[in-house]
C-alpha cells in the first residue's frame, strides 16, 4: 500500500489535484481540488478494518465491505 496523507485514498494513493480557478473577468489563479475520500469498514487480507477510500475504488469494487 502507498504512503497516505490526510486527503488521500489508502488503496490507490490518489490525492488532491491542482487546477485553475477562472473568474468571470478571466482572472486565473491556482486552486486545489480535493478528491472525494470517506472512511469505510472493509475487509483486507481477511481482517476487517477502517480505511480512507476514494469513491472510484468503492464504486469499482476493489474492496469488499465488512458487515
Q: Which helix (H) or strand (E) holds 56?
A: helix 55-60
pLDDT of residue 51: 93
In sequence order, what are the beta bridge partners of 57?
none
**pLDDT mean across residues, the chain:** 90
Q: Higher confidence at residue 1 or residue 26? A: 26
The pTM of the full predicted model, rounded to 2 decimals, is 0.74
| pLDDT tens, position by position, 39-62 | 999 998 999 999 999 999 999 999
Amino acid at each position: 500500500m502507498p504512503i497516505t496523507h490526510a486527503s488521500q485514498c489508502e488503496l490507490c494513493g490518489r490525492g488532491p489535484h491542482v487546477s485553475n480557478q477562472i473568474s468571470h473577468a478571466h482572472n486565473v489563479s491556482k486552486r486545489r481540488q480535493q478528491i472525494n475520500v470517506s472512511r469505510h469498514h472493509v475487509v483486507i487480507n481477511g481482517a476487517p478494518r477502517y480505511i480512507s477510500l476514494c469513491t472510484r475504488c468503492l464504486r469499482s469494487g476493489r474492496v469488499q465491505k465488512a458487515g
